[in-house]
Structures are given as structure tokens and as C-alpha cells.
């Protein structure tokens, strides 16, 4: 059980608080920070929610009051330099806060990590609140609120629910448990409109995203047993579909849906010398060890890495590493 009371105390003792999450933010990081923002504002704190990326369209429903800011050094550095406490949600690896994390470090700000990923940050967080058994960071924010007897207002519930619903794939992934549904019940009682959130997150694909999916579907490859499926996205495909990096999110989950596929792998060319890799497993194989060996990390069944090298180079390393790991776990796969 994490000592949430100590975090309430830490928060009580400060005025200016920064909230943030990882680059290419998802519903869990944003929803968690959003819930905390509304709690802190109700406490009269001087707080801001600043993150490094452009806000994905799917999450604009969290930003009707323009509270989610995209980092801009000219606008934010001065404010950040006088922050007394930073709460970072769902980040896994400190480096994924990019320039915001650098600003916090150079100003020696007290940075607290609230996350359900194993920490890869080598002690860069002053305090760690980690629960790898939580289905979502949003679930941890719920625990924090409960422990401090904070009433679940509609805004707080919207943030928590968004975290839980997105990280469980709408209560479908294997991390979904009774508690997730109990949290959902409380959030609905607090006034959360679940179908509106579902539509915003899952029925809001850009046309470029669908065009890119069309290009991918023609080039999925499988190993001999059909348990491993992979695909790559190069710059020419991105250009052809007029797609952005945010458009590729979720494709690996989609490929995992194929019958017989246990592990899906996506490799996206970032530039000539680096690629983003995503792993998803149905449960038979644990894949975060593979991601870790490539310099990344994540959950047992959903993980990723950033790797140096051209798409061809990274693909061959990823396939060799993945096949070897699956063989080790099963003894059969080729």
C-alpha cells in the first residue's frame, strides 16, 4: 500500500505545482493529470498542467477550458523555475518528459513520479509512487483521492475514468479487474458521460490515420507459426497518408486482434537513424523484457522502445530478438 497520506502532506506544504505526463500523451497520463489538476485547483493551489506534445484530438474533451498546455520554453520556463513540486504521471522513463524534465532538473525541483510502469529513470525522481499492479495510473489517482477523503467531483471522475478506460482498452485487456469496474461505477455516479468519452477516444480517427492503416494492412508479415505478426511504417507511407506520429497509436493493438497472433510488433521510422518500436501480446508471451533489451520498457503485455538505426537495421534486430525471446519462452517458435 503506497503512503498516499505523505503525498497529501507534501502537497499541503507547497503552493506552486506543475503537473505533467509523457510525450505522445495517452488517456491515462492526461486523465490522471487532469483529475489531479482539478483537485489541486479546488485546494487553491497555483498549478498548471503542461506537457511536451501537441494534444491529440481524441483528448480535446479534457481541454474545453484550455487547461492542458503544450510546453513552450518562452511561455513556461520562468514559471517552471519557481515550481515547488512537480507531479509526473504515467511516464515510465523520465526522459519521456523531454524538455520539461530537463527544466525541472536544472532548477532542482522536487519531482514526484506517480506511475504503474516499472521505473527506468535511475533515481531521477525524488519520490516514487509506483504500483505495477494498478491497471492504470488513473487507478492510483483514485487511491490517492480516497486516501485523502477527496470527494469525486465530476471533473476528477472524468480524469480518472479516462485513465482507466483507455489503459484497459475499454475494460477488455487482461489487466481489467473488479476494481476497474468499481471505479467506473463511482465515476458514472459522479456524472461521467461514458459514451461521450468512448466516442471521443475510439470513434475519432483522422482520415490520414485510416489511410495509413490501409497501407499497413497490405504488408503485415508473420513468422511460420503465425504467432508473431509485424509491420513497418516508413516515411514514404507517412507522407502518402499525410499522417503524423500520433496517427500510428493503437495500430499494434489492432494487429494483435488477428486470430492466432500472440505477439504484434510495429516499427515506425522516426528519421534516418531512429525507430519507434511497439510490442503487444495477448498473454502467452511476456514482451517487456524484449523492449528492455532494446533500451525501452513497459508492461508485460504492452511495451515499447526507441532504437537507433535505419528501419532495415532495426527491423532485423527486433525480429531476431523477438523470435529468440519467444523461442526461449515457448521452445517451439521459429
Q: Which residues bind Mn ion (CB under 5 A)?
A: 28, 90, 137, 167
Contact 230, 266 (CB under 8 A): yes
Q: Which is nearer to Mn ion, 140 or 228 (CB)?
A: 140
Contact 329, 285 (CB under 8 A): yes
Minimum distance of Mn ion from residue 95's CB (angstroms): 17
Q: How far apart are CA 328 and CA 87, in angstroms?
A: 39
Q: Which is nearer to Mn ion, 30 or 237 (CB)?
A: 30
Q: Which is nearer to Mn ion, 101 or 298 (CB)?
A: 298
Q: Pick from 139, 132, 138: which is nearest to 300 by CA? A: 132
Minimum distance of Mn ion from residue 29's CB (angstroms): 7
Could you give the strand order of the β-sheet that contains 46-51, starting from the edge strand earlier in sequence?
Answer: 68-70, 46-51, 16-21, 85-89, 110-115, 127-130
SS3 275: strand
Minimum distance of Mn ion from residue 115's CB (angstroms): 8
Minimum distance of Mn ion from residue 238's CB (angstroms): 25
Q: Which is nearer to Mn ion, 26 or 155 (CB)?
A: 26
Other CB atoms within a 10 A radius of the CB of residue 172 amount to 9
The CB-nearest residue to Mn ion is: 28
Minimum distance of Mn ion from residue 117's CB (angstroms): 7
Q: Which is nearer to Mn ion, 31 or 101 (CB)?
A: 31
Minimum distance of Mn ion from residue 45's CB (angstroms): 24
Q: Pick from 212, 221, 219, 273: which is nearest to 244 by CA? A: 212
Q: How far apart are CA 114 and CA 99, in angstroms?
A: 19
Q: Give the cell for residue 134.
A: 494498478
Q: How far apart are CA 294 and CA 313, in angstroms?
A: 13
Q: Which is nearer to Mn ion, 148 or 169 (CB)?
A: 169
Amino acid at each position: 500500500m503506497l503512503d498516499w497520506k505523505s503525498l497529501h502532506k507534501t502537497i499541503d506544504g507547497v503552493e506552486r505545482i506543475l503537473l505533467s505526463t509523457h510525450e505522445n500523451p495517452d488517456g491515462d497520463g492526461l486523465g490522471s493529470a487532469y483529475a489531479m489538476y482539478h483537485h489541486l485547483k479546488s485546494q487553491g493551489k497555483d498549478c498548471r498542467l503542461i506537457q511536451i506534445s501537441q494534444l491529440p484530438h481524441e483528448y480535446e474533451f479534457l481541454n474545453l477550458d484550455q487547461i492542458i498546455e503544450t510546453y513552450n520554453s518562452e511561455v513556461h520556463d520562468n514559471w517552471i523555475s519557481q515550481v515547488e513540486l512537480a507531479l509526473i504521471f504515467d511516464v515510465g522513463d523520465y526522459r519521456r518528459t523531454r524538455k520539461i524534465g530537463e527544466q525541472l532538473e536544472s532548477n532542482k525541483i522536487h519531482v514526484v513520479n506517480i506511475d504503474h510502469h516499472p521505473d527506468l529513470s535511475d533515481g531521477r525522481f525524488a519520490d516514487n509512487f509506483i504500483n505495477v499492479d494498478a491497471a492504470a495510473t488513473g487507478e492510483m489517482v483514485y487511491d490517492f483521492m480516497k486516501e485523502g477523503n477527496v470527494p469525486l467531483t465530476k471533473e476528477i471522475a472524468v480524469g480518472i475514468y479516462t485513465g482507466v478506460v483507455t489503459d484497459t482498452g475499454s475494460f477488455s485487456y487482461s489487466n481489467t479487474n473488479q476494481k476497474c469496474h468499481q471505479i467506473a461505477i463511482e465515476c458514472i455516479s459522479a456524472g461521467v458521460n461514458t459514451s461521450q468519452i468512448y466516442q471521443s477516444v475510439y470513434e475519432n480517427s483522422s482520415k490520414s490515420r485510416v489511410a495509413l492503416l490501409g497501407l499497413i494492412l497490405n504488408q503485415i508479415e508473420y513468422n511460420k507459426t503465425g504467432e508473431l505478426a509485424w509491420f513497418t511504417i516508413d516515411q514514404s507511407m507517412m507522407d502518402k497518408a499525410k499522417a503524423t506520429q500520433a496517427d500510428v497509436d493503437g495500430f499494434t493493438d489492432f494487429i494483435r486482434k488477428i486470430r492466432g497472433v500472440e505477439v504484434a510488433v510495429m516499427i515506425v521510422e522516426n528519421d534516418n537513424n531512429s525507430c519507434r518500436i511497439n510490442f503487444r501480446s495477448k498473454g502467452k508471451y511476456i514482451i517487456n523484457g524484449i523492449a528492455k533489451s532494446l533500451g525501452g520498457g513497459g508492461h508485460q503485455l504492452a511495451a515499447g522502445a526507441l532504437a537507433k538505426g535505419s528501419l532495415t537495421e532495426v527491423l532485423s534486430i527486433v525480429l531476431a530478438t523477438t523470435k529468440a525471446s519467444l523461442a526461449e519462452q515457448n521452445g517451439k517458435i521459429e
